[in-house]
Chain A
Amino acid sequence: MSEKVSLGRLEPAAIGGVMSREVANFRTYWRGTTFSSVLEPIVYLLAFGLGLSATLIDDVDGLPYVEFVGTGMVATAVIFSSAMPAMFGTFVKHRFQNTYDAILAAPVDVEELVSAEMLWIGLRSSVYGCFPLLVTMAFGLDPKPAMLLVPIFCFVTALGFAGFGVTMAATVAKIDQFNYVTALFVTPLFLVSGAFFPIEGLPEGLQVIAQLNPLHQLVELVRGSAFGFESIDLVRLAGLIVFALVMWRLSINRMEARLID
């Protein structure tokens, strides 16, 4: 009799209610989060973009290095504003604040709860992901109409990484185990995304892995919006959508196992 119950129907009001809680909390800490999300890309651009281009690298594939890195930094902003808050935020809310017990005592199912958390993180990341692009424009990148698609690319990618973060939070036993997740997944993903150097310079085996990296797909889509799309970019976007859907269902499954006895 202990089968998990999934109603298979998402109520917008339930999702909206959970998101309203996130908004209420965000109003108390948005300054610090936004400050770091704006400042970090500037620091990276100064260090890598200007620093390396002044000393070691003029351009990459015909692109000024600062523009190469600046467009790549969108991906780093997205993963750090999606996977990390999803992991730590979910864990803290569940284990220490008992927030989910309160929400699930209301007419909200785990599916709606997780969907709301992912949507909120996705929306926030779609905004924060744009900051590196805006900063790079200040360093000379030409704005293009196609760049209006960047928030959408960021949103879809962030959904997937938010789902990944929630899944990890529902899996680890202790908060310090996130160190394994960061070291084994987050850091390698962001380093081998093509944000700082082209993946074509990697050994062939690693290139294959890099092609499977959702962050690499985002990097290519953002560069496509700035420097011209290719037909394969539709496949990249489809891949990101599939990644988001898979992570969505996996995170719901894991959270149900964790939250419902």
Chain B
Amino acid sequence: MAAIELHGVVKRFGPITAVDGLDLDVPEGICLGLLGPNGAGKSTTMRLLTGQALPDAGELRVLGHELPGDSKAARAEMGVVPQLDNLDVDVTVEDNLAVFARLYRVPDVGAAVDRALDLARLRERRRDAVDELSGGMRRRLLLARGLVHDPKLLLLDEPTVGLDPQIRTELWTLIDNLRSRGKTILMSTHYIEEAERLADEVALMTNGRIISRGRPAELIVEHAGRETAEIYAPPDRLAEARARAEAGGLRVRPAGPAIAVVGSERARDGSVPDDAVRRAASLEDVFVLLTGEEAE
């Protein structure tokens, strides 16, 4: 059984179509990275899955429960780690977890809190108020709160947005552990490295729909080839280089102050200048080519 099944899902906010005929199946036991730029519809998709947004069309099933009618039953079996920190800051770490253990009807609240504290490595801080914790600890607590009831499915909405690299790496290790324990995870992100690092499969989302999906390595081979050549030059020379590469049948994408010629292993003489910096093709190349957005 697929953990998540979305078919033809549409969600509009007035004149804006945030989700536009979305088809998405997430098999059990994998971590699917929902990768897309800001405004792609990722967070709206998450809200649809938790029943906090109602679709205008389409079918949704989560863990066998049809949404929105059976949303409550679905939510009982899934955990959510939100993008924004919505912990109760004046309340202790263990009380934050205990409240959610009760909300999820966990029979043994004390044991569930202890397990969650161990997962987040916050046992020694259990009696501290949340506002005494560092940013990284608060993020770990958010993750632990989403797991306090040992859910079958975990929704991570931009789990490391706004965090510094060290804390991000800490969170990745935690998420990786969950993945290796066989949890089904749907993780929305706009960080390429995060998707590459954590996801078994990546679904690229833009303008409210999935435009490509596969294992990161497969997506790279399919859309970007083996090699990418980056050209750094003044703007007029860049324009020339772009024209020559495109005339040679190669695809070119923006790369900050440079341009990147994707699939440069197929370049004929003169298509790519000799002083171009050649590197292995990456998921970032795929992301920018398919979405038209600069990556982070």
Contact = CB atoms under 8 A, between A and B. Distances in A.
11 contacts: A1-B57, A20-B98, A21-B88, A24-B88, A98-B84, A102-B80, A105-B50, A106-B100, A106-B103, A109-B72, A260-B53
Interface of B: 11, 13, 44, 47, 50-57, 68-69, 71-73, 75-76, 80, 82, 84, 86, 88, 90-91, 95-96, 98-100, 102-105, 129, 145
Contacts of B91: 24-25, 27-28
A18 interface: yes
B217 to A, nearest CB: 33
A179 interface: no
B105 A13 contact: yes
Contacts of A204: none
Chain B contact residues, majority secondary structure: mixed
B284 to A, nearest CB: 31
A48 to B, nearest CB: 35
Contacts of B103: 14, 17-18, 21, 103, 106-108
Contact of B99 (A3, A14, A24, A28): A24
A2 B104 contact: no
Contacts of A1: 54-57
Contacts of B71: 5
Given A107-B73, A107-B76, A5 B100 contact: no
A27 B127 CA distance: 13
A101 B55 contact: no
Nearest to B96: A24
Q: Range of interface residues on chain A?
A: 20 to 34
Interface in A26-55: 27-29
A20 B99 contact: yes
A3 B56 CA distance: 9
A261 interface: yes
B72 A16 contact: no
A259 B50 CA distance: 12
Given A21-B88, A104-B51, 6 more contacts: A2-B54, A2-B56, A5-B68, A20-B98, A261-B44, A261-B47
A105 B98 CA distance: 16
A166 B68 CA distance: 25
B17 to A, nearest CB: 13
A17 B52 contact: no
B53 A261 contact: yes
A99 B89 CA distance: 11
A2 B88 CA distance: 31
Given A21-B99, A101-B82, A105-B80, A259 B90 contact: no
Interface in A204-261: 259-261
Contacts of B57: 1
A97 interface: yes
B114 to A, nearest CB: 17
Given A98-B84, A107-B72, A260 B54 contact: yes
A124 to B, nearest CB: 17
Contacts of A3: 54
The 5 closest A-B pairs by CB, nearest first: A17-B103, A98-B86, A261-B53, A105-B80, A106-B103
